[in-house]
Amino acid sequence: MRIVLQRVRSAAVTIDGQAVGAIQQGFMLLVAAQDSDGDAEVDYLVRKISKLRVFSDADGKMNLSIQDVQGSILSVSQFTLYADTRKGNRPGFGSAGEPTHAKTIYEQFNAKLAALGIPVETGEFGADMLVQLENDGPVTIIFDTDQK
C-alpha cells in the first residue's frame, strides 16, 4: 500500500458538485493498494497513522497524535500513486491493485481507523473527485509498505 498523508486544517471532497466528505483538523489521506496487499499491510498502516505524532504540543513540538488532538481523517482512494513514469510520457498503472481487491483493502483500512474512534470521512472509490484541502505546516508524509 502507498499513502500520502497531509496534515490539514480542513479538507473536503465533492463529486459532481455534491459534498461527499469533509473534515476540520486532521489528516487528508490519498490511499492506493496493490494486489499483494492484505491484512498485514492494512494493520501496519493503521498503527503507524493512528500513532503518528505530527501535531504540535503546548511547546510547539510535533508530539501529539491525531487521537490526542481529536482530529479526523478524510481518506480518498488514489490508484495513481502507483504510476510508472519510467518510459514515455504517459504513465502506466499496471502495479495498481485490481479494482475489486483495491476497494476491499481501502474499505478495510478505513474501517480499522474508524474502529479506533477516529472519525473517518471518505471519497467514493473509483469516482472522479474534486479534493480541496488546507495543508497545515505544510506536513506531508509518504508511507509505502514495500519499504517498511
Whole-angstrom distance, CA of residue 33 vs CA of residue 109: 10
Q: Among residues 79, 109, 122, 145, which one is catalytic?
A: 79
Tell me whether residue 125 is one of the annotated catalytic residues: no
What's the grid cell of residue 76?
480518498
Whole-angstrom distance, CA of residue 95 vs CA of residue 89: 17
Residues contacting residue 91 through CB under 8 Å, at least 6 positions apart:
80, 83, 84, 85
Tell me whether residue 55 is one of the annotated catalytic residues: no
Q: Among residues 6, 34, 78, 122, which one is catalytic?
A: 78
Residues contacting residue 124 through CB under 8 Å, at least 6 positions apart:
15, 20
Q: Within 10 A of 123 (CB to CB), how many other CB atoms are there? A: 24
Tell me whether residue 80 is one of the annotated catalytic residues: yes
Indicate the SS3 state at residue 50.
Answer: helix
Q: Among residues 67, 70, 80, 132, which one is catalytic?
A: 80
Give the residue numbers annotated as catalytic, written as ranges: 78-80
